[in-house]
Amino acid sequence: MHNPSKWVDPFGLSGTSKVISDANSWNRFQARSAGGMFKSRTEAAKAYHLWKKQDWAALEKMMPPGSWPPNNGFVTVEHVVLQPGTKIDRYGGWLDKNGKFNDTGSFVAPAGASFESRALQQSALEKPYTVYEVIKPISAEGGSAIPWFGQPGMGMQYDFQKYGHNIQTLIDGKFIKKIP
């Protein structure tokens, strides 16, 4: 659907969530898979093949236990712009020795998305859960989460890292505000 304003509907109800196609080629797959994730180009090629086939169980099995999925955890990725009023949330962050909340993570989901759809490690449930509202438009990578860690995944996730942001920089820049 044509979307000249690049508005993002996080639940996909209006059909405007897909704004800019970002084909997931071999080069993009490698760039989005953490450096050193694969021991060889052959291993990376095998992972890429499994990822293209969406054989998530076989892909996870070939990775070391507890490893995050390749391609930054995305099934497919697109550039999106989260608009003011959008509510997002995440499990993450910590309190420093002075009791100040800090969060340098860069992944969020639409507020209220199920834990299972995020395909996070169970230990993420021990982290603070925080809801934010977008105040200024924010560029992000968006797409479905690869099923992983025994979770079904496939929920929408957004990552701000490519655009130089994390939760703390977005708070400090007044792009997002915490919702009590």
125 in a structural domain: yes
At residue 38, the pLDDT reads: 86
Contact 179, 133 (CB under 8 A): yes
Q: Residue 25: its pLDDT value, please?
A: 78
Which residue in 30, 32, 90, 151 is the catalytic one? Answer: 90
In a domain, 128, yes or no: yes
Number of domains in the chain: 1
Distance CA 159, CA 166 (A): 8
Say if 163 falls within a structural domain: yes
10 assigned to some structural domain: no
Residue 114 lies in a domain: yes
Q: Is 90 a catalytic residue?
A: yes
Residue 13 lies in a domain: no
Expressed in percent and rounded to 5, the helix, strand and coil fractions of the chain are 25, 25, 45
Tell me what the mean pLDDT of segment 36-40 comes to.
83
Whether 18 shows a pLDDT value over 50: the answer reads no
Is residue 32 annotated as a catalytic residue, yes or no? Answer: no
90 found inside a domain: yes
Q: Which domain holds residue 171?
A: 20-179
CA distance linking residue 74 with residue 51, whole number of Å: 10
**Is 1 domain-assigned?**
no
Retrieve residue 108's tokens: 């969020």
The catalytically annotated residue of 30, 32, 151, 157 is 157
**Regarding predicted confidence, which is higher, 4 or 128?**
128
